[in-house]
Amino acid sequence: MKPALFEYHRAASVAQAVDLLAEDPGAMILAGGQSLVAAMNFRLAAPSRLIDITRIPDLDRIAVTAEGVAVGAAVRHRTLERHDGAHAVNPLIRAAQAHVAHVPIRNRGTVVGSLCHADAAAEMPLVLLLCDGWVELEGPGGNRRIPAEQFFRMHLTTARASDELATRAVFPALPPDAGWAFAEFARRKGDYAIAAVGAIVQCDAGGRITRARLAACGISSKPVRLGRAEAALAGGTADATAAAEAGRAAATHVDAADDSIATAAYRRHLVAALTERVVAEAAARARRGTE
Amino acid sequence: MNARALPRPQIPVNSADPRHAVTLTVNGVEVSREVSPRMLLSDFIRHELGLTGTHVGCEHGVCGACTVLIDGVSARSCLTLAVQADGAELRTVEALADGDAGLSVLQQAFAESHALQCGYCTPGFLMALTEHFESGDPLDLSDEGIREMIAGNLCRCTGYANIVVAVRRAAELSGRS
């Protein structure tokens, strides 16, 4: 099918994009368009105006600074995936990117666009939440930053106001001694996750877990922290028993209903197994780091 | 043999759509057209340029049949608006063969290995693979690595086995294995 009629504007600056957005309540931002154009082809989305932000200078920049990896709103998934500087400070990014659709989609789709689209089963929102990152927005009233914890509201819904442009997202660097892991299960590689789990684990010299951070997608209406699994791990030894216990605790976070792809019971099984796996892998990396 | 005239599709011109001028390089030739913003790049390639080698399957980014190279990297032309490609360097499957003189290495390997049956999906496979073959990155020619390269393209005839064979053969032909 074909998109319904719309106006097309190519913004030359962030300020112009914000003005164009404010003028028309039916306007939407176009970056890579890999979700939006598909929705428009189906006429699930019929914006009256598209504002193309990909030609705005500097919006396609990746900056690796002390605060982490700052990703401009026009940065394509594939560019970030292949960025060695970003990988050096936050290897979770590349690990998760391998599961974001396929190369031709990653060549066009943008990271910030994926965050703003906020599919409940998408990988990059999970990573932003797991790393305690944030999204920076520019609107008629100025700019603000929203932590991932508050940015994702529910499936396809964020805290971004309709007159705001997300200009960049920041994925903080992982602590140098942290172990990390990401695992996903989907029926076909490249599909949205039925469930995916990421972990950041730090251990002391004795192999005891000093800090564990876990997040999952596909199991709720938005990406979620697995707080009960984190609590189960804290202070314990990073062994197989602890990983299995974290898995059982993680399963209690599943609140997605049965759907056409998986039952809730199957998602609980998956998230438990994936959690067990990422905890073991992240703890092993953390131990190697402290040796 | 006489050159076959390109098809001229009958598209109504009396629409209310605004028009935008786009200029891009297609298979080495600069083209300029006035298009509606809602014209998909896949339709631009087929209807405006008459390059019907780019096939349209699902039209929502799933099947990969419409894959082309935009500035050297693969992309779904059905998920790209023609206006977004303004200024780009575009290549379609028509760019692969050297006229009637010779097939590209990938095309030759596909033909030799029986990697196509109905052929509808083939242009998309070829373009997606061309990106990998042209990149300087080492090719992972394990079964898993090849299947990863073609994961974004659907074929309903071959069962993929001979496409995997063809990719390995193309690597051999181009000295990449």
A37 is a domain residue: yes
Same domain, A202 and A159: no
Domains and CATH numbers, chain B: 20-95 (3.10.20.30), 105-173 (1.10.150.120)
A155 is a domain residue: yes
Per-residue pLDDT reduced to its tens digit, A48-89 = 999 999 999 999 999 999 889 999 999 999 999 999 999 999
Contact B38 A4 (CB under 8 A): yes
Q: Sorting pLDDT into bands at 50, 70 and 90, what band is A250?
A: very high
A2 is a domain residue: no
What distance in Å separates the CA atoms of residue B94 and residue B157, rounded to the nearest whole number? 22
Question: In this complex, is the C-beta atom of B70 within 8 Å of any C-beta atom belonging to chain A?
Answer: yes
Q: Using a CB-CB distance cutoff of 8 angstroms, which residues of chain B are in contact with residue A3?
A: 38, 40
What distance in Å separates the CA atoms of residue A26 and residue A7, rounded to the nearest whole number? 10
Q: Residue for token digits 């023609």?
A: B82
Q: Using a CB-CB distance cutoff of 8 angstroms, which residues of chain B are in contact with residue A192?
A: none
Question: In this complex, is the C-beta atom of B84 within 8 Å of any C-beta atom belonging to chain A?
Answer: yes
What distance in Å separates the CA atoms of residue A116 and residue A76, rounded to the nearest whole number? 14
Nearest to A29 by CA among A73, A79, A78, A70: A73
Work out how many domains chain A is built from and give that number.
Answer: 3
Per-residue pLDDT reduced to its tens digit, B87-103 = 999 999 999 998 777 99
A220 is a domain residue: yes
A57 is a domain residue: no
pLDDT of B1 reads 44
Q: Is the pLDDT of residue A1 over 80?
A: no
Per-residue pLDDT reduced to its tens digit, A152-209 = 999 999 999 999 999 999 999 999 999 999 999 999 888 999 999 999 999 998 889 9
pLDDT of A184 reads 98
Residue of B81, B121, B131 for testing the chain A interface, max A β-carbons within 10 Å: B81
Same domain, A166 and A183: no
Same domain, A151 and A68: yes
Residue B67: partners with Cβ closer than 8 Å, 6 or more residues away: A104, B74, B75, B76, B77, B123, B124, B125, B127, B128, B152, B153
Same domain, A21 and A101: no
Q: Using a CB-CB distance cutoff of 8 angstroms, which residues of chain A are in contact with residue B20?
A: 8
Which stretches of chain A are DSSP H helices? Answer: 14-23, 36-41, 77-81, 84-89, 92-97, 103-108, 111-117, 123-130, 148-151, 227-233, 240-251, 264-290
Instruction: Indicate the Cα dihedral angle A239, A244, A247, A251, nearest 10°.
Output: -160
HSE at residue A155, side-chain half, CA atoms within 13 A, is 10
The CATH number of the domain where A263 resides is what?
3.30.390.50
Q: Sorting pLDDT into bands at 50, 70 and 90, what band is A291?
A: low
Same domain, A131 and A234: no
Range of the domain at A16: 7-52
Q: Give the chain B residue nearest A5 (alpha carbons).
A: B38
Same domain, A161 and A183: no
Last residue of one domain, picked from the residues A171, A194, A211? A171
Same domain, A162 and A69: yes
The CATH number of the domain where A68 resides is what?
3.30.465.10
Contact A105 B76 (CB under 8 A): yes
For residue A229 the two structure tokens come to: 């699994």
Q: Using a CB-CB distance cutoff of 8 angstroms, which residues of chain A are in contact with residue B61?
A: 34, 37-38, 105
pLDDT of A50 reads 98
Same domain, A37 and A70: no
pLDDT of A240 reads 94
A1 is a domain residue: no
A110 is a domain residue: yes
Same domain, A83 and A48: no
Q: Sorting pLDDT into bands at 50, 70 and 90, what band is A91?
A: very high
Same domain, A190 and A165: no
Nearest to A71 by CA among A142, A21, A155, A135: A135
For residue A142 the two structure tokens come to: 């100025």
Same domain, A48 and A67: no
For residue B71 the two structure tokens come to: 């500035």
Chain-centroid distance, C-alpha A12: 27
A239 is a domain residue: yes
Q: Are B40 and A2 in contact (CB under 8 A)?
A: yes
pLDDT in tens, chain B (177 residues): 455 666 666 665 666 789 999 999 999 999 999 999 999 999 999 999 999 999 999 999 999 999 999 999 999 999 999 999 999 999 999 999 987 779 999 999 999 999 999 999 999 999 999 999 999 899 999 999 999 999 999 999 999 999 999 999 999 999 987
What distance in Å separates the CA atoms of residue A275 and residue A120, rounded to the nearest whole number? 18
**Strand pairing category for B20-26 and A224-225:** unpaired
The CATH number of the domain where A19 resides is what?
3.30.43.10
Between A238 and A19, residue with greater pLDDT = A19
